[in-house]
Structure 1
Amino acid sequence: MNTRPSSGNISLRSLATFLVVGGFATGLQYAIMALLMALAGVPALAASNTGFAISAVANYLLNAKLTFRSERSHASTLPRFAVTAALGLGINSLLLSLLIAAGLHPAPAQILSTAGVLIWNYTLNALWTFKKPQT
């Protein structure tokens, strides 16, 4: 019997896959943000939040299937992912607002905000959202 505490899904493989999936989702978010700002004149924060929400759908599906190889039902993982993403969106919004208010251009401000959200999302998704069922 293994008596070591479980680290959930935290591994080099899951981290590497999470970074690839996250890179795709982040690129999607940034593209949507840029298009909304350039073509529709949407303010940076609203454009970022819209891109974040749309990219979250792709992020969920790819992380469930590829990153964490979840065996849990979507009924179990999707609400947890939604909570994690919503809190990540809050972190993104707070950091982006603070950095822009401090005078940073929206592009580097968004990159720094993304770094904070990345750490949050990987940890919570690995240990809670897609946690392997206890056997």
Structure 2
Amino acid sequence: MSIINDYPEHSVLLRRSVYRQFILFALVGAVATTVHYLFMGGLIILSAVHPVSATVAGFIAGALTGYLLNRRFTFRSRCAHRQALQRYLLVAGSGLSINTLIVALGIAAGLHYALAQVGATVLVLFWNFWANRYWTFGNG
């Protein structure tokens, strides 16, 4: 038996809390993704940087934006800033690896870089939420 099974209202409250956090995370993610895409597009269009290199730079800019907003608004973390930032960067690094791999594979398969990037963004969204909720900010 678990406490959640003994008190079904706790299960409902926990689900609402997770859904609320996911919605906030997705909204913050939309802001961070906008930063990512604008940075990436600017590098490609203005500087003729290769799309894979541009997505790496854009991802880093978006990840830093996301850290600041998620720490403050989504997870309201009390974890030490130093510890949370280190963990966030590890999660972001793994997300960057997933993102870069998917974009590179998509381009190699003949997809337009923007379509490959959208697919990567969706997968990385779910990975980042769970990793940050349960490990980075310790609110799981």
1:41-120 to structure 2, matched below 5 A, reads 41-120=48-127
Q: Structure 1, unaligned stretches of length 5 or more?
A: none
User: Per-residue displacement from partner, 1:36-72 (whole Å, max 9, x unpaired)?
Assistant: 0000000000001001111111100100010011011
Q: Which residue of 2 aligns with 1:18?
A: 25
Identity %: 40
**Greater relative contact order, per chain length (Cα 8 Å cut-off, separation 6+):** 1
Name the structure where helix makes up a greater proportion of residues: 2
Cα contact 1:25–1:58 (8 A) shared by 2: yes
Letter in structure 2 aligned against 1:53: I
Q: Distance in 2 between matches of 1:102 and 1:34?
A: 21
Q: Distance in 1 between matches of 2:127 and 2:139?
A: 19
Q: CA deviation at 1:29?
A: 0.3
Letter in structure 2 aligned against 1:65: R
Q: Distance in 2 between matches of 1:113 and 1:132?
A: 26
Q: Which runs of 4+ in 1 moved over 2 A?
A: none
Cα contact 1:33–1:44 (8 A) shared by 2: yes
Cα contact 1:84–1:121 (8 A) shared by 2: yes
User: Per-residue displacement from partner, 1:10-55 (whole Å, max 9, x unpaired)?
Assistant: 6111001000000000011000111000000000000010011111
Q: Structure 2, unaligned stretches of length 5 or more?
A: 5-13
Pick the structure with greater CA Rg: 2
Kindly report the root-mean-square deviation, in angstroms, between the aligned alpha carbons of the 2 structures.
1.9
Letter in structure 2 aligned against 1:74: H
Letter in structure 2 aligned against 1:28: V
Q: Distance in 2 between matches of 1:64 and 1:118?
A: 16
TM-score (structure 2 length as normaliser): 0.87
Instruction: Say which of 108, 132, 139 aligns to 1:125.
Output: 132
Cα contact 1:71–1:132 (8 A) shared by 2: no
Give the length in aligned residue pairs. 130
Task: Name the SS of the counterpart of 1:11 in structure 2.
Answer: helix
